[in-house]
Every structure is written in structure tokens, then in C-alpha cells.
Structure 1
Amino acid sequence: MSYAELATLAGDRPTLYVDFSGDLDLRDRVHQHFAGQLVYSCFAGTAQSTDEARLTAIVGPQPVFFFAPIQIRKRNAEWGPEGAASISARGM
């Protein structure tokens, strides 16, 4: 689907949004469209924007920033380096 087709998606079921585009207008439209059904919003990149990241939303859950090195440190702390490495080696 294209971004222009957002309004055609059902807005009546729990929805998770992961933003790789960095398009702030699109994020606002997603949050407005899914409103109370948006259960999680994650900002993971800026493929289409050089604007500064804005981690606020006008409706629904506030976007959480995903940064791989932070997640790797978190998993190393939780599982130990060997545990994290074994999961990574299995492709999970």
C-alpha cells in the first residue's frame, strides 16, 4: 500500500506502528487514523527526512525511539553477551 492509502485501512483494531520513514506528517496521520486503537508507536529511522526527530504525537501513544546499539546493550545486560550472541547466530 502507498502512504496515500492510509485512510482505507480499518481503524477499528489494535495496531502497532513502526516508522522507518521519518515523515512527521505521515506519523500524525497514522496516529489520527488509528487513534485509540494504536497500541504502540516506534520511531526507527529517517529514510525520507533530514528533519530533527520529534518524539511526540498528537494522538495516542508517544513514539518510542528504537536505536539498535541501545537494544544490543540492553540484551547483553539481560541475557549476557553469550546469550545475545546465540540468538543473533540463529537469526532471531
Structure 2
Amino acid sequence: MPANSKYLNPAFWPRFSKITAAILGGYFVSVTFHLALAAWFNRANVLITMAFTGFILWVALMIIAFLAKSGWKIWGIYLLLTLLFCLFIYLGQTYNHTAQ
């Protein structure tokens, strides 16, 4: 049984924004989250753990992006999270560098 056409979005840009938010945005959030953890905790342990948890988080963020109503809103959320985690990376490296 084919999908009901009223639920399909034929427009290119909404579909493109969801796909890119899922792949690129989810990846950026996943990587910056784990790098922020590495800036504050034991770097080697976090980066080894990232091989598994990073992929799981990335897939979860992909699913969230496709469940969202607007691809542009999810892009905005993912960019804000990425910038927030970049701030945590910067603060963690600054604090830990001066503490040594």
C-alpha cells in the first residue's frame, strides 16, 4: 500500500533541509558534544567512548531531525547546540590549561 500523498512533501528545500540537518547537523552536534566532554574530563577515555556513543547519538539526532516539522528549525537548534558545545570546549580548554 503506497503512502498517502497528502503526507508527502513534494517541495525540494524542506526535504533538503531535513536531510542535511540529519546528516551534517547531527554529526556536528555529536562531535562537539563529545569534544566538550573531552575538554572537561579524561580526554583519552572520552575519545575512546566516542567511537560508540558518538554513532548512537548521531543516529538519534538523525531520527529527531526527520520527525521535526520544519527542517530549518531543526537546523537552528542543531547550530545553537553546536555553538554552545564549542563554548564549553573553549571554556574547558581555557580553564584546564591555566589550572596545570
Normalising by the smaller structure, the TM-score range is under 0.3
TM-score (norm 1): 0.26
Q: Which structure: greater helix fraction?
A: 2
TM-score (norm 2): 0.25
Which has more radius of gyration? 2
Q: Which structure: greater strand fraction?
A: 1
**Bigger RCO (CA 8 Å, 6+ sep):** 2
